[in-house]
Amino acid sequence: MSNSSPLRGKRIVLGVGGGIAAYKSVELMRRLMDCGAFVSPVLTKASLRFVGETTFSALGSESARTSLWDAGDPIPHTRLGQQADLVLVAPATADLIARYAAGIADELLTTTLVATNAPVVMVAAMHTEMWQHPSVVENIATLRRRGVVVIEPEIGRLAGGDIGVGRLASTGSVVEIIEEIFDGSTRALSGRKVLVTAGGTREAIDPVRYIGNRSSGKQGIAFAKAAARYGAEVTLVCTVPFESEPGINVIEVESAQEMFEAVSDAAGGFDLVVMAAAVADFRSKEISPTKIKKSHGAPQLVLEPTPDILAYLGSVKPKNQVLVGFAAETGGVEAEARRKLKDKNTDFVVANNVLEQDAGFGVDTNRVTLVFEDSALVLDLDDKRRIANRVLSFVAEWAGKNGVWSD
């Protein structure tokens, strides 16, 4: 790993919870150490049913600790908590999350968590039903309100053989988020108000049918989550289901007109507007009040343009606002993005080729070109969450350097 990693010289307490994903913590520990961090492993009693203390002692920066009652160090939790630059818990089980949220300190890891003023990162891993249980949802919300960074589990094959949400986030994702904490990226939008749109609009033909597109809203939602994690107050105008999270106010819409109405009045009050939604260009001029019957023959649809939301926002954009547009193309990606950059008066355009299987609609990955002024930043294939992170970090840095956000 590069010596330039922001983890170099940092002291990290790695808490290991009692879940099957505990074996992945070994790889995570070594990756952190490769980045130059000093890692102190703390294993819960339950974790020892899945992993061995010897492994962590041999591979960690110092011997693993498993007990609050250590004759050689009568207050290990205080020492660990005070010396830590960050406390990382992976896996964070439902039990650990609940005890930390309640402030219970009954063994070494939980007492260390309560005894530290360092940033805390909880990497959740558990079965799908447990992750979705109301008590876990509430505990996660409580921790986030307190400033704890919770890394959500990924979708994949679980210990029981089924597939769902619950798998420990990849080592690369966890390390990247920790690096963001140390290099200040997680506060890049602190105090800023951010508006994000996500999903494809639906333009009604009758009460049953609509004109739509293939957008899943995944990239837009990734931007909303990243902005909230970076300290912003986020408003998400969304056409797809999304359970609200701390720091994100959700406005549900369906059509282009509804989205236009949701963003047009308030847009001027935002520091950053990210128009990630795939807004339909046309809608039916007339909407049938009843279902159009197939037996009546194919209807003749007369289309009319929908409101050009991005163009409107560009026309009323205040000087202290950054406007980011999107261009989902099937060819000539950068050229079309540059046209939109000029015609819509945006500061940036995020463009991608939707014909690429791993970067189009409905997938978890993307590859984009961020077009701005007389330059462009090409972001290779990556998870949509990391794409959002990199774009927002770049945009925030650009806004600061160019005096757009001068306060």
Which residues are identified as catalytic?
A: 213
Percent helix / strand / coil, the chain, rounded to 5: 35, 25, 40
What are phi and psi for residue 299, nearest 5 degrees? -75, 155
**Which structure tokens are listed for 342?**
């000029």
Cis peptide before 91 (omega within 30 of 0): yes
CB-based contact 322:273 (threshold 8 Å) = yes
CB-based contact 405:399 (threshold 8 Å) = yes
Which H/E stretch holds residue 128?
helix 128-131
Sign of CA pseudo-dihedral 190, 382, 165, 275: positive
Find the angle CA(217)-CA(219)-CA(225) to the nearest 5 degrees: 100
Buried b (16+ CB within 10 A) or exposed e, 123-157: bbbbbbebbeeeebeebbebbbeeebbbbbbbeee
CA distance 222 to 200: 15
Residue 252's beta-bridge partner residues?
238
What are phi and psi for residue 216, nearest 5 degrees? -95, -15
Structural Rg of the chain based on CA atoms: 24
The count of residues in the chain is 407
The gap between the terminal CA atoms of the chain, to the nearest Å, is: 36
Residues 6+ apart with CB under 8 A from 54: none
Residues 6+ apart with CB under 8 A from 21: 90, 91, 125, 167, 168
CA distance 325 to 320: 16
How many CB atoms sit inside 10 A of residue 347's CB? 21
CA distance 360 to 73: 55
